[in-house]
């Protein structure tokens, strides 16, 4: 793996548990260390917070959360003191204009002639009456950065379309797992009823009620056992809804480590009917085909017709059709799962993600 010889810093709003392996692996490639500044999420976000980092140094921010929804803003107290104390040679920040403390940190770095890299999903063209004004605002925001790391090819394309230099835009495939060694072995036929697995937060935007309603419309011979892994503000309501419309639904709560791995190993198909997508990479590392909604730019990189079904957002008809096709052909699912595993082995893994970050850190210093 590539090495970065200097001292790196990263500013995060929060430190979710799933990011711990990434930060620790990145720290191992930074010769003079990596320090991360991150605070706590809001209570209603149901983000499983990390307890500690092993290789990276985590300094706890005091997050002040302002407003909510489309008006949400975050102020991170203690940021400038952290910069003064840790004195990073290069800085990576979330490219989100809602984080009010970030511009001051960028100015601090630039006053000392040090680069700052933004890290984000992309910058799609806003659809509103104020499109031109919002685009100019985004361009001014992006002009602060010396490089941009995108989760996806689509995100990188959007940054370049706003005028960012192509040689300073880097694509780091979003990943949770290291490169897998061997795939779970599954028979070409289902062992009883097929298992349809969801892993993630239980929120309205995940469209889990819609998923249960779609499962209820499937022919009896392909109706799956639906396993929902995770926690969140919608859990109680969804459990009650499941009793009424799809009783063959199991809510496990949040699972981690081997308990979660066992669910992936025993599943036949992974589904993400709403927003989000990072858990798909984890499912693919267990040789699972994926059905997911295309709600932001990284999904087309992950899911193609050879390893799954990429659906239009909020389209229950397409979801029903995809599940019906998938659960009718277990042999095809196994072949698609093998392709998922190959993609994770070759591209969508933490080693490749870290290599891109290290490469970007080196490039922006030149």
Kindly report, as residue ranges, where domains of CATH 3.40.50.2000 are found in the chain.
Answer: 8-175+349-364, 195-346
Answer whether residue 125 shows pLDDT above 80.
Answer: no
Answer whether residue 132 shows pLDDT above 90.
Answer: no
Assigned CATH for 195-346: 3.40.50.2000
Q: What is the torsion angle, in degrees rounded to the nearest 10, for the CA atoms of residue 36, residue 37, residue 43 and residue 45? A: -60
Of the candidates 51, 69, 63, which has an alpha carbon nearest to the alpha carbon of residue 11? 63
Average pLDDT across the chain, whole number: 94
CB contact at 8 A, 24 and 54: yes
DSSP state at residue 308? E
SS3 23: helix
Phi, psi of 23 (to 5 degrees): -65, -40
For the chain, the farthest-separated pair of C-alpha atoms sits apart, in whole angstroms, at 66
The residue behind tokens 């990263």 is 10
Q: Give the Cα separation of 341 and 283 in Å (integer).
A: 9
- pLDDT score recorded for residue 130: 61
pLDDT in tens, 167-179: 999 999 999 999 9
pLDDT band of residue 129 (cuts 50, 70, 90) is low
DSSP letters along 263-286, please? HHHH-SEEEE-SS--HHHHHHHTT
Orientation of helix 208-217 relative to helix 316-328, angle to 10°: 50
When computed from its CA atoms, the radius of gyration of the chain, rounded to whole angstroms, is 21
The DSSP bridge pattern shows strands 169-171 and 147-150 to be parallel
pTM listed for this prediction: 0.93
pLDDT in tens, 214-268: 999 999 999 999 999 999 999 999 999 999 999 999 999 999 999 999 999 999 9
Q: Which residues of 245-258 are buried (b: 16+ CB within 10 A; e: fewer)?
A: ebeebebeebbeee
pLDDT band of residue 136 (cuts 50, 70, 90) is confident
Of the candidates 300, 261, 280, 263, which has an alpha carbon nearest to the alpha carbon of residue 341? 280
Q: Give the Cα separation of 292 and 162 in Å (integer).
A: 28
Assigned CATH for 8-175+349-364: 3.40.50.2000
- Compute the C-alpha angle 339/342/344, nearest 5°: 115
Phi, psi of 35 (to 5 degrees): -125, 135
- pLDDT score recorded for residue 297: 61
């Amino acid at each position: 793996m590539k090495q970065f010889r200097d001292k790196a810093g990263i500013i995060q709003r929060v430190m979710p548990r799933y990011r711990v392996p990434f930060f620790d692996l990145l720290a191992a490639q930074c010769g003079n260390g990596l320090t991360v500044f991150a605070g706590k999420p809001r209570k209603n976000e149901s983000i499983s917070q990390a307890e500690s980092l092993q290789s990276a140094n985590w300094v706890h921010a005091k997050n002040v959360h302002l407003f909510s929804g489309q008006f949400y803003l975050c102020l991170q107290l203690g940021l400038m003191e952290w910069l003064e104390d840790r004195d990073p040679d290069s800085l990576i920040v979330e490219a989100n204009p809602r984080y009010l403390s970030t511009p001051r940190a960028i100015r601090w770095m630039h006053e000392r002639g040090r680069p700052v890299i933004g890290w984000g999903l992309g910058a799609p063209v806003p659809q509103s009456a104020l499109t031109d004004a919002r685009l100019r605002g985004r361009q001014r925001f992006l002009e602060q950065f010396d490089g941009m790391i995108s989760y996806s090819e689509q995100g990188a394309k959007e940054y370049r379309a706003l005028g960012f230099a192509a040689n300073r835009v880097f694509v780091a495939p979003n990943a949770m797992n290291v490169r897998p060694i061997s795939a779970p072995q599954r028979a070409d036929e289902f062992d009883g009823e097929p298992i349809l697995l969801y892993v993630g937060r239980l929120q309205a935007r995940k469209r889990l009620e819609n998923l249960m309603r779609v499962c209820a419309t499937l022919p009896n011979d392909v109706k799956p056992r639906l396993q929902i892994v995770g926690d969140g503000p919608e859990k109680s309501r969804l459990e009650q809804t499941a009793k009424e419309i799809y009783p063959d639904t199991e809510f496990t709560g949040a699972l981690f480590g081997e308990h979660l791995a066992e669910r992936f190993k025993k599943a036949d198909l992974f589904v993400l009917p709403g927003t989000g997508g990072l858990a798909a990479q984890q499912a693919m590392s267990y040789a699972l085909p994926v059905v997911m909604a295309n709600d932001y730019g990284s999904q087309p990189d992950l899911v193609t017709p050879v390893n799954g079904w990429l659906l239009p957002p909020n389209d229950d008809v397409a979801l029903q059709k995809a599940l019906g096709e998938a659960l009718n052909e277990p042999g095809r699912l196994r072949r698609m799962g093998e392709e998922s595993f190959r993609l994770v082995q070759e591209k969508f893994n933490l080693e490749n993600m870290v290599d891109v970050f290290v490469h970007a850190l080196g490039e922006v210093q030149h």
